[in-house]
Structure 1
Amino acid sequence: MHKNNKPVNSRRNFIKQTSLAAAGFWIVPRHVLGGKGYIAPSDKLLIASVGVGGKGESDIAMFYKSGKAEIPFLCDVDDARAATTVKAFPKAKYYKDWREMYEKEHKNFDAVSISTPDHTHAVATLAAMQLNKHVYVQKPLTHDIYEARILTQAAKRYKVVTQMGNQGASNDGTRQLKEWFDAGVIGDVHTVYCWTNRPVWPQGIPWPSTKAPIPKELNWDLWLGTAPAKDYIEKLVPFNWRGWWDYGTGALGDMGCHLMEAPFRVLGLTHAKDVQATVGTVYVDAMKEGFFPESCPPSSHVTLTFPKTTKTKGDVVMHWMDGGIQPTRPDELGPDELFGDGRNGTLFIGTKGKMMAGTYSADPRLLPLSRNQEVKVKQTLERVPNGAQGHYAQWVEAAIAGYGKKELSAPFETAGPLTEALLIANLAIRGYNLQVNKADGKAGFPGRYIKYLWDNENMKVTNFDAVNQFVKRQYRSGWELNPG
């Protein structure tokens, strides 16, 4: 199958020369079987996968499970992490560097799945889009605000089918919440709370002074990619990178897309106009605050203000809480009744009532819980078959159909602004611990205890310029983002 703007002319030779089916037999693309316009019922989407361990492993399995995809190429910098997937798809050609895979094989696949650490998302994704490949990218869409804006624009420019991997966007829960809201059940929403128990990895710590031996299966230089050159440290891979700003985006990057997606969909939110934050403080000694700007903080409370939308009567204030911090339990919720899903949750506060849900917008409930038996509204929104699990097949089928032919739950059109919002929240978090020299030569923290005013069109904070360095980072030589 190939539905992109640039035809694959060498597919017949490619199929003759290679046998890459992971299981069973190779499915011959439609243009080989019957020429232009021929639609074969056995047509498959050929997906090249970048980052095939961990979440990448499960993503690939779900694409293949759809019955409409083949996995001819795998790419990972860590042979140990990739081992299970390589074993599952033994005939797939394996690469270490996605740039080499794109260069050598781009005529032989239709789409790319990217499941790497956050700092690699944008460069690998944009390069695939510039080759007219459909893309599925794990959340958060990007590491920086600038990158999210670029990818959102690129999806429209290159007319490729896009999906972010926040699978809860395909759940029934987020649609049930919207139907309640649209029916006026809770009135006008003015306040939203989102909270998580993350991080569950180290944060608020100094960068270790002692380097560790690089695992023999890991290509450390390729893993660093866009990030500054540094020595490897113990246990950074495969998971603890999330707590370091060079690579990850903290608890917001991990859970923000899952918990903030429903408010964006339900209320029609687009961009924040201001943000403020407080963060958990680490003390290394009595009354001596630890200063670790390379590391995300152990906890934070961020307040974002979103301007009035077509769905609201005024501004919407969104509170983000992480590190185990939760909002005060609503009066309508019994003392022993589950708040969110216990660890994570989203709460909508309206003029006529409240509603909440857990991770992925699962288990939506009106408050008090007795209302769920009393209130009945008409289903107005189509459900995604198999909910969160169907998120993968939805993208595969949309890519086969072609750009603009099928609706998606998390195309870059919506995933981009959602990602920008959580990264704007991260600006306030990073600004809190940003030291700036005073006139007397001493360092201070002028970014604390202020409200950051956000100029969305120009992508910058207007009243604290020092934090704008995090809107668009510097890339290591050879790994630059090239919008074209």
Structure 2
Amino acid sequence: MSNKIKPLSRRNFIKTSTAISGGAMMAPNILVADHHGQKLRIAHVGTGGRAGAHVNMAAGEGCICNTYCDVDESKWGSAKSKWPKAKGYRDYREMLEKEKDNYDAVSIATPDHHHYPAAIQAMKLGKHVYCEKPLTHTVWEARQLGIARDKYKLATQMGNQGHSNEGNRLMVEWIQQGALGKISEVHCWTNRPVWPQPVANPKKADPIPGSIDWDVYVGPAPKTQLYKKGVYPFKWRGFWNFGAGALGDMGCHTMDAFFWAMDPGAPTSVECVKKSEMIDGNFPKSSVVKMKFPARDGRPAFDFYWYDGGEKPDAALGLGRKLPGTGCIFVGDKSSIMSAGDYGDSPRIIPEAKMREIGRPEKTIERSVGHYKEFVLAATGKKPIDYPGSNFGYASPFSETVLLGNVALRCEGELKWDSKNIKVTNNDEANKYVNKEYHNDWPAPAA
């Protein structure tokens, strides 16, 4: 079996030894000494739903929790059972300020519209941050968290756990070692949404359970977003004021190998080329988004396509293999790669004859010790702050790209994108979706 792969460019790969010896990033701010040694004291913003996994991950890493919050007191159980002496809150703004001497890091798992306000408050207090995907709710917010990470020299990690998987590493190694040749197109698709889309904003509120602080849940969103049983706790993703739709939910997973391997920089344009009905400005059931990326560092320009809600690329791109329900395809002039699932699962070079010819790539990327463990090691100073693979230096521009697709959903035609000035240059209406108005005096300051 031959393996005709060019030597790998080390660009953008995690190389801890280089980071340490070269001083690429300083170690995180020294933690307040903990009475139990080098254990991370973590405050949880969210304890129910997906946040319950954060609670379990923190406990599994031996972290200490002195305080946690969730707008729904009935969801405190997982944290309360693990840390019975910890103090619970329903408003993270109050918790982050009052308890600032009792935690070193914050773990955020809330509806998307709360990611940025919670993260930026914590970072301004000098706290390390682990935040669920999408990193933020808007393009502008994503830019700010990248700035904050560099400004405050903090350990960070976005919760796109597939970034630590083997499959994504294999795809990056194949692509950057030249197995595909020149790539002209990348296609990513997901079986989401698995929640209701499109949705209309509720016109009449249901009775609010006494355990829920709905005003805090609404937070920076308009107060016209009324409580509706079922929207909370899971079916909020289809609402523009709370979520980021299928692209925001899964793009940070499914598009990860693309952004890592191609190192594309910002797109020059984005366009929604197909979408189903939108109601009250909320997300459609299905869409197709196209982005154009320029030539860069010897790599030719290429097009990227995103599909959701049952839309998929041309089946012929599978080169004899059936397209999975969720996956991605890189189209090169020598061969292609297809993976199944949202996390870089089971990648294969196609056609199969090329897979047999090329074989596995040279192993050049450090394998992960675990997505959450990476964050804990960096936050406790055992590794540099850029050790987590999806630290905000990577996750910020990645999330900007993902969320720019949502801007295109609200507009007609191709949008020309000026990344340096974070602005659409040919459609003034589009720029109001690059960020948003913050309501109810909810703080969301710049970095």
Normalised TM-score (structure 1): 0.82
Equivalence for 1:380? 364
Equivalence for 1:168? 162
Equivalence for 2:35? 28
* Deviation of 1:62 (Å): 1.4
Look up the SS of the partner of 1:477 in the other structure: coil
Look up the SS of the partner of 1:372 in the other structure: helix
Equivalence for 1:38? none
* Deviation of 1:136 (Å): 0.3
Matched, 1:474 2:447: no
**CA deviation profile, 1:323-356 (whole Å, cap 9, x unmatched):** 011111235543xx452xx321111001101002
* Deviation of 1:82 (Å): 3.0
In the alignment, the residues of structure 2 paired with residue 483 and residue 73 of structure 1 have an alpha-carbon distance, to the nearest angstrom, of 26
**CA deviation profile, 1:403-443 (whole Å, cap 9, x unmatched):** 73562210111101111111111111012xxxxxxxxxxxx
In the alignment, the residues of structure 2 paired with residue 331 and residue 109 of structure 1 have an alpha-carbon distance, to the nearest angstrom, of 50
CA 1:7–1:201: 2 relative to 1, 3 Å: closer
**CA deviation profile, 1:61-115 (whole Å, cap 9, x unmatched):** 1122124x22222110012233333233322221111111111111111100000
**Corresponding letter in the other structure for 2:434:** V
Check whether the contact 2:76–2:88 (CA below 8 A) recurs between aligned residues: no
In the alignment, the residues of structure 1 paired with residue 363 and residue 200 of structure 2 have an alpha-carbon distance, to the nearest angstrom, of 51
Equivalent residue for 1:356, pick from 314, 324, 338: 338
In the alignment, the residues of structure 1 paired with residue 101 and residue 182 of structure 2 have an alpha-carbon distance, to the nearest angstrom, of 51
Task: Give the alignment's Cα RMSD to 1 decimal.
Answer: 1.9
In the alignment, the residues of structure 2 paired with residue 76 and residue 307 of structure 1 have an alpha-carbon distance, to the nearest angstrom, of 43
Look up the SS of the partner of 2:343 in the other structure: helix
In the alignment, the residues of structure 2 paired with residue 398 and residue 205 of structure 1 have an alpha-carbon distance, to the nearest angstrom, of 41
In the alignment, the residues of structure 1 paired with residue 105 and residue 72 of structure 2 have an alpha-carbon distance, to the nearest angstrom, of 22
Equivalence for 2:131? 137
1:311-460 pair list within 5 angstroms: 312=299, 314-330=300-316, 333-334=319-320, 337-339=321-323, 342-358=324-340, 359-376=342-359, 377-385=361-369, 390-401=370-381, 404=384, 407-431=387-411, 448=412, 450-460=413-423
**Corresponding letter in the other structure for 1:351:** D
Q: Extract unaligned runs of 5+ from structure 2.
A: 1-26
**CA deviation profile, 1:24-78 (whole Å, cap 9, x unmatched):** xxx7254xxxxxxxxxxxx2011101011111111221122124x2222211001
Look up the SS of the partner of 2:211 in the other structure: coil
**Corresponding letter in the other structure for 1:476:** H
Look up the SS of the partner of 2:380 in the other structure: helix
CA 1:405–1:467: 2 relative to 1, 3 Å: closer
**Corresponding letter in the other structure for 1:104:** K
**CA deviation profile, 1:237-256 (whole Å, cap 9, x unmatched):** 01111001011110011100
Equivalent residue for 1:90, pick from 84, 88, 93: 84
Equivalence for 2:203? 209
In the alignment, the residues of structure 2 paired with residue 311 and residue 76 of structure 1 have an alpha-carbon distance, to the nearest angstrom, of 48
Look up the SS of the partner of 1:381 in the other structure: coil
Look up the SS of the partner of 1:71 in the other structure: coil
Look up the SS of the partner of 2:271 in the other structure: strand
Equivalence for 1:18? none
**CA deviation profile, 1:155-193 (whole Å, cap 9, x unmatched):** 000000010000011111111111111222111112000
In the alignment, the residues of structure 1 paired with residue 41 and residue 343 of structure 2 have an alpha-carbon distance, to the nearest angstrom, of 28
Check whether the contact 2:154–2:385 (CA below 8 A) recurs between aligned residues: no
CA 1:264–1:29: 2 relative to 1, 3 Å: same
> How much identity, in percent, do the aligned residues show?
40
Report the number of matched residues: 418
Check whether the contact 1:115–1:121 (CA below 8 A) recurs between aligned residues: yes
1:43-62 pair list within 5 angstroms: 43-62=38-57
Check whether the contact 1:49–1:112 (CA below 8 A) recurs between aligned residues: yes
Q: Extract unaligned runs of 5+ from structure 1.
A: 12-26, 31-42, 283-290, 432-447
In the alignment, the residues of structure 1 paired with residue 339 and residue 215 of structure 2 have an alpha-carbon distance, to the nearest angstrom, of 41
In the alignment, the residues of structure 1 paired with residue 268 and residue 296 of structure 2 have an alpha-carbon distance, to the nearest angstrom, of 12
CA 1:198–1:311: 2 relative to 1, 3 Å: farther
Check whether the contact 2:201–2:280 (CA below 8 A) recurs between aligned residues: no
**Corresponding letter in the other structure for 1:393:** K
CA 1:209–1:407: 2 relative to 1, 3 Å: same
**Corresponding letter in the other structure for 1:144:** T
CA 1:181–1:210: 2 relative to 1, 3 Å: same
Normalised TM-score (structure 2): 0.89
Check whether the contact 1:227–1:247 (CA below 8 A) recurs between aligned residues: yes
**Corresponding letter in the other structure for 1:322:** D
Instruction: Pick the structure with greater CA Rg.
Output: 1
CA 1:62–1:349: 2 relative to 1, 3 Å: same
In the alignment, the residues of structure 2 paired with residue 156 and residue 403 of structure 1 have an alpha-carbon distance, to the nearest angstrom, of 16
* Deviation of 1:381 (Å): 1.2
User: Which structure exhibits the higher relative contact order, with contacts defined as CA atoms closer than 8 Å and separated by 6 or more residues?
Assistant: 2
